[in-house]
């Protein structure tokens, strides 16, 4: 069975958001923070087709996730996020690259929560 990474991100993001709300940002592991940032990017792009929602809340999710992915060796995720400098192209090709990049993040998250 093929893993639905969109559902995984939504479900895992909900768990991370609940922890963030209950315990604060300092309670999140680096991998949980990565999921949080990816959740924000996904929310913005899927719902508005732009980074507008990120900008509306002053989010640094893209730069934070780039830094995290570089620190943890998530090369596909880092390369994909580097292309976010061109918002229009990134958003138009979002779904083409999402699974590969999200899969890398999922692997790190799953190893972290074991």
pLDDT in tens, 71-109: 999 999 999 999 999 999 999 999 999 999 999 999 999
Give me the pLDDT at residue 113, please: 82
Give me the pLDDT at residue 109, please: 96
Distance of alpha carbon 96 from alpha carbon 90, whole angstroms: 10
Q: Which two tokens stand for residue 53?
A: 């929602």
In this model, does residue 1 exceed pLDDT 60?
Answer: no
Give me the pLDDT at residue 114, please: 74
Q: How does residue 3 score in pLDDT terms, banded at 50, 70 and 90?
A: low
Query: What pLDDT, in 10s, does the model give residues 19-77?
Result: 999 999 999 999 999 999 999 999 999 999 999 999 999 999 999 999 999 999 999 99
Which region, left, alpha or beta, applies to residue 29 given φ > 0 means left and ψ of -120 to 50 means alpha?
Answer: beta
Question: Mean pLDDT for the chain?
Answer: 94
Over residues 11-26, the mean pLDDT reads 97
Please state the φ and ψ torsions of residue 98, each to the nearest 5 degrees. Answer: -55, -50
């Amino acid at each position: 069975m093929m893993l639905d990474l969109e559902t995984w991100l939504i479900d895992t993001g909900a768990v991370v958001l609940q922890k963030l709300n209950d315990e604060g940002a300092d309670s999140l592991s680096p991998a949980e923070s990565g999921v949080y940032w990816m959740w924000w990017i996904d929310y913005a792009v899927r719902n508005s087709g732009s980074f507008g929602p990120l900008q509306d809340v002053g989010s640094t999710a893209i730069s934070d996730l780039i830094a995290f992915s570089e620190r943890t060796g998530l090369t596909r995720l880092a390369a994909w996020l580097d292309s976010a400098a061109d918002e229009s192209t990134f958003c138009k090709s979002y779904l083409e690259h999402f699974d590969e990049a999200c899969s890398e993040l999922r692997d790190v998250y799953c190893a972290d929560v074991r």
